[in-house]
């Protein structure tokens, strides 16, 4: 028997805008989903993979240096992925990290078309104080949070369950909040991630305005 699952299909993705302030945010009301996480968590690798582009998001060579909001237009601007700068970069000066925080906070609290935030945490580690802070911030502002546990290839199946529980407990996430293990290296967990992205962007039924953006496989 063939089980049909609905998943989002990404056909094209292009850099739309690089911004630090609202006047630099792109115009138009396409729904947006932001990706956040500490430096080195695997955000660029994941964004490159899900958009099927090699150089969409910058790799680890630029770790911590990109302190801009990068807006990517997906499927001819049906929706957007917003790459938030990684946090936890030790070498930032206090004033730089303060303006970095303001920039992210301003985007997260004022952007009307923002549908949710994918919070990336490394599956091997207990979430950091900043991860917890970010998660609490999202909850406080009523934003949908998708918890993505990266580098899932680095743990055994047993450890995976243990680490998911550690992540859930540390972030204070409820049992209903999904934690999606993914591996950019092994390309696993992507169907579940796409499903969650689709639900967050287009609602529970995963319906977009354009049926072509949702395919049955
Ligand atoms: N084993 C493994 N390593 C990964 C995975 N994703 C990223 N990495 C590695 O983690 C490091 C940081 O990745 P990068 O995508 O640049 O992280 P970013 O700083 O969050 O953008 C790099 O050395 C990647 O090769 C993964 O799924 N599995
Ligand atoms: Mg990066």
* Ligand 1 contact, 63 CB (< 6 A): yes
Tokens found for residue 66: 């990109």
Phi, psi of 60 (to 5 degrees): -65, -15
Residue 95 three-state SS: helix
- Please give the Cα distance from 129 to 149 (Å, whole number): 16
* Ligand 1 contact, 59 CB (< 6 A): yes
Q: Which ligand 1 atom sits nearest the alpha carbon of residue 182?
A: 27
- Average pLDDT score, the chain: 85
Confidence category of residue 35, pLDDT binned at 50, 70, 90? very high
Please state whether the predicted TM-score (pTM) of the whole model is above 0.85: yes
User: In which residue are the tokens 């080195």 written?
Assistant: 40
- Please give the Cα distance from 158 to 140 (Å, whole number): 32
2-17, pLDDT tens digit by residue?
444 456 788 889 999 9
Q: Report which secondary-structure segment, H or E, holds 96.
A: helix 94-110
127-180, pLDDT tens digit by residue?
999 999 999 999 999 999 999 999 999 999 999 999 999 999 999 998 888 999
pLDDT of residue 54: 59
Q: Which ligand 1 atom sits nearest the alpha carbon of residue 150?
A: 27
* Ligand 1 contact, 51 CB (< 6 A): no
Domain residue spans of the chain? 6-204
Supply the residue whose CA is at minimum distance from atom 6 of ligand 1.
42
* Ligand 1 contact, 62 CB (< 6 A): no
* Ligand 1 contact, 70 CB (< 6 A): no
Size of the chain, expressed as the number of residues it contains: 217
User: What are 97's strand-pairing partners?
Assistant: none
Centre of ligand 2 to C-alpha 37, Å, is 10
Say whether pLDDT at 208 is over 70: no
Tokens found for residue 21: 């302030």
Tokens found for residue 213: 């953006």
The average pLDDT across 54-81 equals 74
- Please give the Cα distance from 118 to 127 (Å, whole number): 14
Burial 54-80 (b: 16+ CB within 10 A, else e): eebbbeeeeebebbbbbbbbbbeebbb
Whether the Cβ atoms of residue 24 and residue 18 lie closer than 8 Å to each other: yes
How far, rounded to the nearest angstrom, does the alpha carbon of residue 14 sit from its chain's CA centroid? 17
Q: Does domain 6-204 have CATH number 1.10.10.10?
A: no
Centre of ligand 1 to C-alpha 215, Å, is 29
């Amino acid at each position: 028997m063939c089980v049909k699952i609905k998943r989002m299909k990404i056909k094209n993705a292009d850099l739309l805008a690089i911004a630090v302030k609202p006047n630099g945010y792109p115009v138009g009301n396409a729904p947006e989903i932001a990706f956040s996480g500490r430096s080195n968590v695997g955000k660029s690798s994941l964004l490159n993979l899900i958009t099927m582009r090699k150089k969409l998001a910058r790799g680890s060579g630029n770790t911590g240096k990109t302190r801009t909001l990068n807006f990517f237009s997906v499927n001819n601007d049906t929706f957007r992925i917003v790459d938030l700068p990684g946090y936890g970069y030790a070498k930032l000066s206090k004033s730089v990290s303060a303006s970095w925080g303001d920039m992210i906070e301003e985007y997260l609290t004022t952007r009307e078309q923002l549908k949710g935030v994918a919070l990336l945490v490394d599956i091997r580690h207990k979430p950091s104080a900043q991860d917890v802070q970010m998660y609490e911030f999202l909850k406080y502002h009523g934003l949908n949070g998708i918890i993505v546990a990266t580098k899932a290839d680095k743990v055994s199946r047993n450890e995976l369950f243990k680490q998911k529980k550690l992540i859930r407990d540390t972030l204070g996430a409820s049992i209903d909040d999904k934690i999606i293990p993914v591996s950019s290296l092994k390309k696993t967990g992507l169907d579940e991630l796409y499903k969650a992205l689709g639900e967050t962007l287009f609602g529970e039924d995963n319906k977009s305005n354009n049926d072509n953006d949702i395919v049955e496989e």
